[in-house]
Amino acid sequence: MYPVWEGMFIHSAMYVAIIATFHVLASHLTVAAAWFNLYIERRAVRENREELYEYLKRSALGLMVFAYVFGAMAGVGIWQSTTAANPRGISTLIHNFVLYWGSEWYMFLIDVIGIIAYYYTLGRVGKQTHLRLAWLLALGGSGTLAIIVGILSFKLTPGAWLENGLSLAGFFNPTFWPQVLMRFAFMFVITSGWSLIIATGLPRGFFEREKIIRYAGAIGLIGLVVGVGIWFLWYQPTLPAHARSIMSSRAIVPITYPLIITGVVAAAATLTFSYFRPQLQRRWIALTFMVLLQAAIFGAERVREVIRKPDIISGYISSNQLLFADLPARGVEREEQRLKEIGMLGNLPFLLPADQIDVANISTTDAQRQIAVGHVLVVQECGSCHNVSLQTQIRFADQHLVLRSLADLFVLRQRTTAADIDAYIKGIQGFPYMHEMVGTDAERAAMAAYLEDFIKQTYTNQPAVIGQK
């Protein structure tokens, strides 16, 4: 167990979501753009069409700076933010898959050194040599995608790993194949957007401008159709029943699906338009398309994260960072059961015993001390997914913007006294996306006392929820 970082102004989980969304856009773009550029370059070489190199040069420079470097930075950002937000979750992944990540790192080195070589040698080295670089970029990028999907999909469907503890079983888990193919298909939608941005920047009347826009439209449409098809016919049916039930629960913020659908519709419309009317395509349309796509990715990635609730690794470790299942194959014993019996406080690193909490404040009353104890527990048990203090609320006027605030949830359910909250927490496992609270009755009572106080802190004036998520 580690210290808790709640976040500042923004909840720690939202930092992860924001950085991850950008990373998804950039990383998917690098892979599909590499294939698209390879396609263009092969035509340039085979048909001896020098003018296509102008597009490749513009695309490569933009990719080098935007997608590869910023994508890499956002990748590191995901490490940093997930580490700070939920260290034991990332620790489980690392201790299973560090050498898979090490393998991905090689692919990533190929990507980054490759794009430097690709850009700086364009027009300098022989055409066949440069075409080989394009191949290496496309293959290296696909390698990164293939490897990371194994790790990502493991979180939702660890499969046989839960019995045999073998990394290969966890990596090639039940949703690996549909997810890797689906992402591969959707990548081409993103790269179409990118190609439209680059191609619409070419001078009007440029020899290949319209053709590139048409190629982009066609390839993007194929990716979209294949991706949506895999979603409905293969990926979604493979999801565990628990995940499917959460998809239709209120755990998913209502705006999420409209965001995704808007992105899909915008993609279909923009790409069809590009295919049939390439001469009318404009840069502002392409940019708008990319923005809508980014919003849709945000929605889709949030769904992917939320349908795992209440676990970080489904069936193994919950969002409160406690192991709740044995893994005999790796000699791992669950922690939750023992802590339910003996209590959380004083029994995990960084969780002080109750009598050491708030000791510096000698004028504290028993009631205040109970609230202080409850604060420690609520932060530990609920803080990973919920706003549990004013620290991660953005407030203006009498309103606040928050991530799944417990104050808001209890107000909406009209449970605002400690007694009501206590009873509510006691049966919290009735929700499909919640585990039973870990700890003793006294600890639960302390949590309820703190939550009552937190509601009062939040609603000093009048309830006004604008950021219910």
Partner 1 sequence: MLEMMRDPLGAPFFPVVFQALLVVTWVLHIHFVTGAIGSSTFSIYAFWRKDPNLLRLGRITARLTPNMVGLGIVTGIAPLLFVQTIYDPLWYAANTLTGFWSVTFIFIVMGGYSLAYLLFYLKGSKDGRLLWSAVASLVLLSFAGWVMHVLHQVSIRPDQWMSWYAPGGVIDTRGVQFHAYDVPRLLFLLPLQAGLSFAATLMFVSWYLRQRVDADPTFLDWTAGVGRRIGLWVAPLYGVFGLLWAFTEGPEFGLTAFIAVVAIVLGIGLFAFFWLQNKQPVRAGAKALGVWALALVVVAVTREVIRAVSLGRFNYSVANYPYIIDWGSVIMFGVTSVVGVSVVTYLIMVIYQSGLSADGTVSAKAEGFGRVATAMLGAWFGFFVLIGLYSSLFLR
Smallest distance, partner 1 to C-beta of residue 58, A: 13
142 belongs to the binding site for partner 1 (CB under 8 A): yes
Binders of partner 1: how many residues, by CB under 8 A?
A: 101
The secondary structure element, H or E, covering residue 400 is strand 399-401
206 belongs to the binding site for partner 1 (CB under 8 A): no
431 belongs to the binding site for partner 1 (CB under 8 A): no
CA quadruple 232, 235, 239, 241: dihedral, nearest 10: 20
Smallest distance, partner 1 to C-beta of residue 375, A: 7
Residues 376-395 that bind partner 1 (CB under 8 A): 376, 379, 383, 389, 391
DSSP assignment of 199-238: HHTSPTT-TTHHHHHHHHHHHHHHHHHHHHHHIIIIIHHH
Residues 154-183 that bind partner 1 (CB under 8 A): 159-160, 164, 166-169, 171-172, 176-177
Q: Which is nearer to partner 1, 120 or 276 (CB)?
A: 120
Place of tokens 């990548």: 187
133 belongs to the binding site for partner 1 (CB under 8 A): yes
| 312 phi/psi in degrees, rounded to 5 | -90, -50
Residues 239-298 that bind partner 1 (CB under 8 A): none
Q: Which is nearer to partner 1, 139 or 287 (CB)?
A: 139
Q: Which is nearer to partner 1, 324 or 433 (CB)?
A: 324
- Tell me how far apart the alpha carbons of residues 63 and 57 are, in angstroms, rounded to a whole number: 10
Exactly one of 121, 337, 429, 457 binds partner 1 (CB under 8 A); that residue is 121
Residues 296-315 that bind partner 1 (CB under 8 A): none
429 belongs to the binding site for partner 1 (CB under 8 A): no
331 belongs to the binding site for partner 1 (CB under 8 A): yes
**Measured CA angle at 172 (ends 257, 228), to 5 deg:** 30
| 168 phi/psi in degrees, rounded to 5 | -65, -35
Q: Are the CB atoms for 229 and 191 separated by under 8 Å? A: no
CA-closest candidate to residue 162, choices 100, 101, 92, 104: 92
Residues 29-68 that bind partner 1 (CB under 8 A): 65, 68
- Tell me how far apart the alpha carbons of residues 116 and 143 are, in angstroms, rounded to a whole number: 18
Q: Which is nearer to partner 1, 221 or 388 (CB)?
A: 388
Smallest distance, partner 1 to C-beta of residue 267, A: 27
Under 8 Å CB-to-CB from 345, ≥6 apart: which residues?
A: 351, 352, 353, 354, 357, 373, 376, 377, 439, 443
92 belongs to the binding site for partner 1 (CB under 8 A): yes
194 belongs to the binding site for partner 1 (CB under 8 A): no
Q: Which is nearer to partner 1, 359 or 423 (CB)?
A: 359
Give SS3 for 244: helix
Exactly one of 46, 50, 116, 233 binds partner 1 (CB under 8 A); that residue is 116
Q: Which listed range, 2-10, 35-43, 181-189, 218-226, lies at the site for partner 1 (CB under 8 A)?
A: 2-10
